[in-house]
Amino acid sequence: MLKILLVDDEVYVRKGLHELISWVELDMEIIGEAENGLEALKMIECLQPDVIITDIRMPILDGLGLIRAVEEMSHLEPVFIIISGYHDFKYAQQAIRYGVHDYILKPIDEEEMTVTLQKSANLICNKRARILLDEKKVGEIMLEDMIKGNVRREDEHRYAELLGIRRNSSMLMALIELQTGLDERKITNEQFIEAVRSLEDDFFKMYVIEQQRGTFSLLLLWVEHDQRNSALQDKLNSIHIELSRKLNLDIGLYAGMLVKEIGNVPQSSQEAEEAARHKYAETGGVVRYTEIKDKPLFVFNVYQDEVDQLILSLEEGNRSAYYEIVEEQFQLFHRNRFSPQAVSGSLMRCITAILAVVNEMGGTDEGLQQLKELVQQSHEGWNLRLLKNAFLMALEEAEDYISHLRIEQSKGDIGKIKRYIDAHYTENINLKSIAARFYMNPVYLGRLFRKSYNQYFNDYLLNLRIQEARKLLRQTDLRMYEVAARVGFQNADYFVTQFEKLVNMSPTEYRNLL
């Protein structure tokens, strides 16, 4: 309920206001009455009313004197409504200069006074809402208006007053990028604002608005006491270092140019965005538009022959080689001033080539989870170091997956080889002749066979031959040298020796046992 103080030297006017207005319906109450400005001044200090309804002409201290005296009390901001029986335009002008809300002539009209009181109530509520409203929200709304150029010329003084922009202040727009890469940590808006607020001082103030996850716009208010380029650079470097330390993250800070007028803030914001496009081309985490405005960016992807070299070393499993290629590529990104789009496009060309190799080998992108994550990520929260490390980890995963696919393919090949052995074991075959037939290295084939079937090639071949020999001994009356020749042995004595080793008896003893 709003508190009302009535000030008039005519008692019937004060009593009339009691009866004329439905104070309860307006959610107001009269907390006191005074006969002159001096008496009212004492009551105002004690009662702190929200609305003061005062006459102009009163003894001892008139209404304008009362208003002037209250204006000097910075801790009080009541709304004044003047009532007067005189058609004195000069009084009205003077009252308006003092910020009086309304000027009503006697005799007082009930409807006019009610409307005026309602307006006063709205004014007070709006003022209190602005004070009680989270400072962050006020700053965000106003900052967004300023960035988008939605502030009318006639409203600029109000924005300047509410944001504390002094006449000797300059403004600068900056973008802050939290460079987390694949790190899932989430820095909240509140955490970031708290970190920013801790960096402010008497000559430097900042307002923050979150543009999207991990990216914030900052309005920096810079007092004119020292606007040398070196001083501003030192301040930006300090902000970068301190925010990185407080948030324990890599930070990218991209700054536009200093401006003096609110109407030029959108230009500074656009300059900050342009500076952000040079983040891979500049050293350090602070990029200022003044440093890059005349420097062109490379907007094309890397050449195909560079991609081919990377894929070759990856297929060969030569980790040191593709590490070196990636290192050279990322140095090229920085040295030749690749734009973020060109860097992303170059990596996509490499990733597409890797997917092609995997698909040719019968694999799927399910085996390339880190590459998928890298593709699906927006690279706005990255710097070159994070991007290179993530890309190398993805390449290591791709190398392992390609190696796995090669083994799976080899298992398919070894199946064909085993079936060939099963069909031709009675012939004069050996590991070297089979390796030559299937265009493989005999040492590699021997290792692959053992890994696939858990036994050596020669042991497997010998078992096949002896099993067939036992069958011939059981079912035929072939002589020993004939049995040996039938199952692939060129020497009958060697056949007998190998038979005894596996069956623990000679071929003759085996036949006689039957």
Q: Which has the higher per-residue pLDDT, 105 or 86?
A: 105
Q: What is the CATH number of the domain that holds 218?
A: 3.30.70.270
What is the DSSP secondary-structure string of 271-287?
HHHHHHTTTTTSSSSEE
Together in a domain, 141 and 288: yes
Instruction: Map residue 372 onto helix, strand or coil.
Output: helix
Question: Residues 364, 365, 367, CA angle at the centre, nearest 5°?
Answer: 85
Of 237, 269, 292, which residue sits at a domain end? 292
What is the DSSP secondary-structure string of 417-465?
HHHHHHHHTTSS--HHHHHHHTT--HHHHHHHHHHHHSS-HHHHHHHHH
Gap between the Cα atoms of 267 and 256, Å rounded: 8
Cα–Cα nearest to 10, from 47, 48, 55, 40: 55
Please give the backbone phi and psi of residue 97, each rounded to the nearest 5 degrees, phi first: -65, -30
DSSP state of 250: E
Q: Which has the higher per-residue pLDDT, 329 or 88?
A: 329
- 465 in a domain, yes or no? yes
Strands 169-179 and 250-255: antiparallel
Residue type, 349: R
Together in a domain, 142 and 280: yes
- 299 in a domain, yes or no? no
Together in a domain, 27 and 123: yes
- Structural domain harbouring 37: 2-132
Peptide bond into 296 cis (omega under 30): no
Is a pLDDT exceeding 50 seen at residue 132? no
Together in a domain, 393 and 439: no
Of 342, 373, 406, which residue sits at a domain end? 406
Together in a domain, 37 and 103: yes
Of 132, 159, 187, which residue sits at a domain end? 132
Nearest-10 crossing angle of helices 229-247, 189-197: 130
Q: What is the CATH number of the domain that holds 81?
A: 3.40.50.2300
Q: What is the CATH number of the domain that holds 502?
A: 1.10.10.60
Banded pLDDT at 190 (limits 50, 70, 90): confident
Gap between the Cα atoms of 287 and 202, Å rounded: 25
- 412 in a domain, yes or no? no
Mean pLDDT, the chain, integer: 86
Together in a domain, 201 and 171: yes
Q: How many domains does the chain have?
A: 4
Together in a domain, 120 and 142: no
446-480 tens-digit pLDDT: 888 888 888 999 999 999 999 999 999 999 999 99
Together in a domain, 183 and 202: yes
Together in a domain, 281 and 323: no
Please give the backbone phi and psi of residue 286, each rounded to the nearest 5 degrees, phi first: -110, 120
Question: Residues 502, 503, 507, CA angle at the centre, nearest 5°?
Answer: 115
CA distances from 274 to 173, 174, 206, 258 (A): 12, 11, 21, 15
Please give the backbone phi and psi of residue 342, each rounded to the nearest 5 degrees, phi first: -70, -40
Together in a domain, 126 and 155: no
Percent of the chain with pLDDT over 90: 45
What is the DSSP secondary-structure string of 15-51?
HHHHHHS-TTTTTEEEEEEESSHHHHHHHHHHH--SE
Cβ 139 vs Cβ 208: under 8 Å: yes
Together in a domain, 271 and 154: yes
Total residue count of the chain as it appears in this document: 514
pLDDT at 76: 81
- 334 in a domain, yes or no? yes
379-434 tens-digit pLDDT: 778 899 999 999 999 999 999 998 888 777 666 678 888 999 999 999 989 999 99
209-222 tens-digit pLDDT: 888 888 999 999 87
Gap between the Cα atoms of 325 and 314, Å rounded: 10
Element (H, E) at 179: strand 169-179
Together in a domain, 393 and 374: yes
Gap between the Cα atoms of 495 and 169, Å rounded: 103
